[in-house]
A and B are shown apart, each in its own frame.
Chain A
Amino acid sequence: MLLRGKAHKFSDNVNTDYIISGKYKFKTLNMNELAKHVMEDLDPDFYSKIEKGDFIVAGQNFGSGSSREQAPLAIKHANISGVLAKSFARIFFRNAINTGLPVIECDTDKIDKGDKLRVDMAKGKIINETKNLTLDVNPLPSVMIEILNDGGLAKHFKKNKGFKI
């Protein structure tokens, strides 16, 4: 899986209420509708700034808070190809992989707003093309790689008739 796009930067502790507010998520299962409100409380115009394939790049503890799967789904449906952060909250991390949104732990201080990035999920490599830098990545547990490669947990589960570790 090869991903390419530019970086949108956010700070530490971006919680699930910021990713998609509770006032929207309970109303609908239409993710394209929810996607329009992604990160709205942090940046009201965020959705209109996204070009297909862009990355969200953040600090520590991205996705803290609720277990709502609407959070990674709304990001995915906003045409974001992946989230890079110094660390992730546990439930968000699982949910992202389960819904097929690539999430990667790395040192995001080496990425600035607007930098062009190339991410090779299979090799576990990030290249900051703007800065001509290669970043190290914390590898995913094997079961998560299987799930991501199958396109998310629902597909993985159907294909293997259960989990495969």
Chain B
Amino acid sequence: MGQTIAEKILSNHCKNEVYADDLVIADVDFVMSQDGTTPLAINAFEKMGQKTVFDPKKVAFVIDHSAPSPLEGVSNLHTLMRDFANKHDINIYDIGCGVCHQLIPEQGHIVPSNLVVGADSHTCSYGAINVFSTGVGSTDCAAAMASGKLWFKVPPTIKINCSRALVKGVYSKDLILYIIGELSADGATYKAVEFIGETIDNLSIDARFTISNMAVEMGAKAGLMLADSKTKEWVSQRNSNRFITVEPDNDANYEKELDFDFSNLKPQVAKPHTVDNVVSVDKVADTTIHQGVIGTCTNGRLEDLKIAANVLKKHPVSKNCRLIIAPASKDIFIKAMKKGLIETFVKAGAAVVTPGCGPCVGTHNGVPSDGENVISSANRNFKGRMGNTNANIFLASPATVTASVVTGKITDPREFL
């Protein structure tokens, strides 16, 4: 019987031919955790009576959520992470290195066909490079760190056929917001999703990560894509090992197949306070904006920064508005600096902050005030997400965020192209 990408990768990692709904214990290729989840993972690791990690090279800690630390409590948890990492000789990315989901693929830790778990819900991002990766909690992460194994229920797959190319001014962020709006916040719970078709083929790897990153916003366990020549080139530049790629069989069994034609897609915006509350930009145009954010594991990549800089070169940030920019990694930060993007941002009135999660999760770096409206390139707009329950968060592409902070109200970015 034919298999989906998820079924193939899980089969390869438990050395058995498995299908949707089978329970398996599988070998994992990489385990990641960040500063919000690692301290509890260390606790669980110790409670399990474990002395060593299964393979130090295959484990990484990332200090990105509150980096640099804004509080003494956080500082102590960071120290706990550093001490554990040093003791076990595992990879650690300290403050300033960037967001976990940018670093793990960018630093060459993973290749197509891998099975990866991370103690962060957006670990599904790596599906963009043909990796089955999924978010788990701290205790699951501890078990995987200790044994190199974890139990999985093989997910059924929803196949999303994406046809036609996106028009100018419309980006992968708009595509995934639209799909989430259609499927709803729990439309793919417990399932894997395959994003396949011409629209995806036309996208850069940077743009593809945005889509897989947000698969979890409709509940999905993984957001998988095929590995094409772009994927292979991107991965080979970062990891010199040979790797295989995984495609679904023609007779694979899908729970559902959905077809979308994206040729007429407009820029999309998710309104407060749920990610599936999606409308096209014209429906919310003219909403006053007080703060913009460009960055995060969703849209803090070089391509995103270039889009923002192209607008900001000619148009400064509105006097009534702030813009915070957090490059997703140190590498991106350096590249943006060399290209003069950082200078453009600063001159246009933006505040550029340390690579990392920045203000995404309300720990520091730009908590909005009561009643303010924020437009962000991030992936979540839950009430209180940015640290203030009385603020409203709108989600959009970096282009829409930039256009909106230039005018001080939600704006269709095509006006600036």
Contacts and interface: CB of A to CB of B under 8 A. Distances in A.
Interface stretch (B147-155, B165-173, B247-255, B321-329): B147-155
Interface stretch (A47-55, A65-73, A119-127): A65-73
Interface residues of B, number: 53
A22 B47 CA distance: 25
B363 interface: yes
B136 A91 contact: yes
Given A67-B121, A153-B44, A94 B186 contact: no
B310 to A, nearest CB: 32
Contact of B74 (A26, A67, A98): A26
Contact of A162 (B77, B119, B147): B147
Interface residues of A, number: 44
Nearest to A17: B382
A17 B383 contact: yes
Contact of B37 (A64, A67, A94, A141): A67
Interface string A6-18: 0000000101011
Contacts of B25: 163, 165
Interface string A79-100: 0000000011111001100110
10 contacts: A13-B186, A17-B382, A22-B36, A61-B189, A73-B40, A95-B137, A143-B151, A153-B139, A153-B143, A154-B48
Given A153-B143, A158-B47, A142 B151 contact: no
B389 to A, nearest CB: 5
B42 to A, nearest CB: 10
Nearest to B190: A90
Interface in B347-362: 361-362
Given A90-B221, A162-B147, A165-B23, 19 more contacts: A17-B380, A17-B385, A18-B382, A22-B361, A23-B384, A26-B66, A29-B77, A41-B389, A67-B120, A68-B37, A89-B186, A91-B136, A95-B140, A153-B139, A154-B139, A155-B47, A157-B143, A158-B48, A165-B151
Contacts of A65: 121, 380, 382
Contact of A61 (B65, B123, B219, B362): B219
Contact of A22 (B23, B151, B363): B363
Contact of B23 (A13, A64, A70, A143): A143
A91 B152 CA distance: 12
Nearest to A157: B48
Contact of A89 (B139, B219, B363, B389): B219
Given A26-B65, A89-B186, A157-B143, A67 B136 contact: yes
A25 interface: yes
B201 interface: no
Contacts of A153: 44, 139-140, 143
B153 A141 contact: yes
